[in-house]
């Protein structure tokens, strides 16, 4: 409590030093921001847009104008104008002006606020969306609500902002296999991401404990694989609550979520985890398992942990199954990336399985000091699926275990077991997304006192530790170029409700956003804590998010 009061006092001091809301409180912090004299009156201001701006961007701007009119209590006109950019260059505009600026980075933007006008420049739709997100943080927090608040101070401090992200891939992960979340809850998850300029949702859709996506060619994946007979109670791995649990997302629901994310500038990256973490699939199609000639009675797993049951990838029918599944999923999701998992795949069953041993012999795979024959069998799977998806225009992501043996050129490595795998991958010339568990696993406790928090898997990951993560540590400048992004993961073994999910995400996602967006020189933990205590908490409150109120 004492620490929180100090943070609030610091925030109030900053406000008093410069006048009410004269210092824009923006997270993630812009690359540069220079305050100038005066303020711009927002309420009732006209909106102008260069006529060459894409129709979708115009719709985004109109949506912002309409919402501002509703909340501020005064209408805002919207017009498209020929030659608006030239008028902006000559400072001959008033109101809001949105103009294209091809020289800016793909997701970058510039905002110039004078007493007369707010000029927004960007080269892409996401650039304009991020500029609008920044403007919203510069306005009274009522802008995030649904009720008119005309008595608020509807002014923006005059300033010059130049901004662009440090990393192109800025992600959050969501595990819907262990526990499912409604379409509306996923939308709220996406909304929180959008506030803080994230652009990828990594959607974990399949695992041992449940299959959550319809596959037309294999209906039993959802008829059987989507439901388990019960769920482990707390951390007792010998227990089962005996309550049937499951479900799946229909194609129409998935399309709805994809479209909603796209509206926010977020791309959904699907994950079909293979060749391990497949017990739900084996429950539906046991003939694909490592059981010799007699399929065994697999069941969708009711426990947490790593199942030893894996696909028999020595069988051609198994590989055709995988190609069919990932092909169908690739056709649904427009993402350039496709995550194929590849983590925690036990070798025990492969060592005993006649089909897998025959495939090892056929391929001439051998064990050496670098990898076992079974490791190289997984390389065969990874490379074959990568080649198949490449034919569909997709780039493969795999967890860092895929580095064992020989990884195919063009794959992206997601480093979760610390940063070691990412460093190794970058040194080998592979693109990397850093998601080191000690810094980026939001299923860990966020306070030292576990007794005052919801159940978590373990560990201790406070706001400050998330914020401290350096994704390029241990790499020289040329190697660091292979670090394409940063992501936090939220596994849901112990998270069964939307309220619990939000609590684990927030406010750590706010710390994450500055790791993803800001250059190291712009990061400031005390500023971020002050913003959380004084400003961001008010945004989360008005939106009704459940979040951890204590910051450590």
Residue 175, token pair as written in the block: 């595990």
**200 Cβ partners below 8 Å, 6+ apart?**
169, 170, 171, 172, 266, 267, 268, 269, 337, 485, 487
Calpha distance 472→484 (Å, rounded): 10
User: Which of these, 377, 416, 395, 383, lies nearest to 168 by C-alpha position?
Assistant: 395
**344 has catalytic annotation:** yes
Specify which residues 490 forms β-bridges with: none
User: Which of these, 120, 127, 125, 74, lies nearest to 97 by C-alpha position?
Assistant: 120
**544 Cβ partners below 8 Å, 6+ apart?**
none
**202 has catalytic annotation:** no
Catalytic one of 173, 277, 339, 535: 277
Catalytic one of 287, 343, 344, 552: 344
User: Which of these, 364, 381, 375, 384, lies nearest to 403 by C-alpha position?
Assistant: 375
Catalytic one of 163, 207, 273, 400: 207
CA distances to 401, 457, 491 from 305, in Å: 17, 11, 12
**277 has catalytic annotation:** yes
Q: Is 410 helix (H, G, I), strand (E, B) or coil?
A: coil
Calpha distance 19→185 (Å, rounded): 38
Instruction: Give backbone dihedrals phi and psi of 532, rounded to 5 degrees, phi first.
Output: -65, -45
The pairing of strands 169-175 and 109-113 is unpaired
Calpha distance 370→480 (Å, rounded): 25
Residue 503, token pair as written in the block: 């609590």
Calpha distance 97→87 (Å, rounded): 10
Calpha distance 97→100 (Å, rounded): 10
Report the catalytic residues. 207, 277, 344
């Amino acid at each position: 409590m004492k620490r929180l009061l100090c943070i609030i006092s610091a925030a109030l001091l900053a406000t008093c030093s410069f006048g009410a809301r004269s210092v824009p409180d923006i997270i993630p912090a812009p690359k540069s921001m220079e305050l100038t004299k005066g303020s711009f009156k927002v309420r009732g201001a006209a909106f102008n847009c260069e006529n060459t701006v894409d129709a979708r961007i115009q719709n985004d701007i109109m949506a912002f104008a309409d919402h501002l009119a509703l909340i501020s209590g005064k209408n805002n006109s919207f017009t498209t104008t020929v030659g608006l950019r030239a008028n902006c260059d000559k400072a001959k505009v008033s109101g809001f002006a949105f103009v294209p600026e091809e020289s800016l980075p793909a997701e970058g933007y510039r905002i110039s606020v004078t007493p007369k006008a707010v000029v927004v420049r960007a080269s892409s739709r996401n650039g304009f969306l991020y500029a609008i997100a920044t403007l919203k943080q510069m306005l009274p927090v009522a802008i995030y609500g649904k009720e008119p608040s005309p008595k608020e101070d509807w002014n923006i401090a005059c300033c010059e902002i130049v901004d662009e992200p440090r990393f192109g891939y800025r992600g959050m992960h969501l595990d819907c296999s262990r526990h499912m979340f409604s379409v509306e809850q996923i939308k709220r998850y996406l909304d929180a991401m959008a506030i803080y300029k994230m652009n990828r949702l990594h959607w974990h859709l399949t695992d041992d404990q449940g299959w959550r996506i319809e596959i037309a060619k294999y209906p039993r994946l959802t008829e059987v694989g989507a439901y388990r007979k019960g769920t482990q109670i707390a951390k007792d791995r010998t227990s089962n609550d005996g309550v049937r649990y499951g479900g799946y997302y229909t194609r129409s629901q998935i399309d709805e979520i994809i479209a909603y994310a796209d509206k926010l500038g977020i791309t959904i990256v699907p994950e079909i985890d293979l060749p391990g973490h497949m017990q739900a699939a084996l429950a539906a199609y046991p003939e694909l398992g490592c059981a010799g000639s007699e399929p065994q009675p697999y069941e969708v797993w009711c426990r947490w942990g790593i199942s030893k049951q894996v696909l028999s990838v020595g069988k051609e029918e198994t590989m055709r199954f995988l190609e069919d599944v990932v092909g169908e999923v690739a056709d649904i999701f427009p993402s350039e990336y496709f995550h194929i998992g590849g983590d925690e795949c036990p070798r025990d069953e492969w060592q005993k399985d006649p089909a897998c041993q025959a495939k090892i012999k056929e391929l001439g795979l051998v064990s050496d000091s670098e990898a076992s024959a079974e490791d190289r069998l997984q390389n065969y799977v990874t490379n074959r699926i990568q080649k198949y998806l490449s034919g569909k225009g997709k780039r493969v992501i795999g967890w860092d275990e895929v580095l064992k043996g020989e990884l195919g050129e063009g794959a992206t490595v997601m480093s979760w077991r610390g940063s070691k795998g990412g460093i190794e991958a970058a040194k080998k010339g592979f693109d990397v997304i850093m998601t080191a568990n000690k810094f980026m696993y939001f299923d860990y406790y966020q306070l030292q006192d576990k007794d005052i928090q919801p159940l978590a898997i373990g560990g201790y990951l406070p706001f400050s530790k998330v914020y401290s993560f350096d994704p390029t540590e241990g790499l020289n400048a040329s190697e660091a170029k292979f670090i394409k992004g940063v992501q936090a993961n939220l596994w849901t073994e112990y998270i069964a409700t939307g309220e619990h999910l939000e609590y684990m995400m927030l406010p750590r996602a706010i710390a994450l956003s500055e790791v993803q967006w800001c250059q190291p020189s712009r990061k400031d933990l005390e500023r971020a804590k002050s913003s959380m205590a004084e400003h961001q908490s008010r945004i989360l409150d008005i939106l009704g998010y459940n979040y951890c109120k204590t910051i450590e």
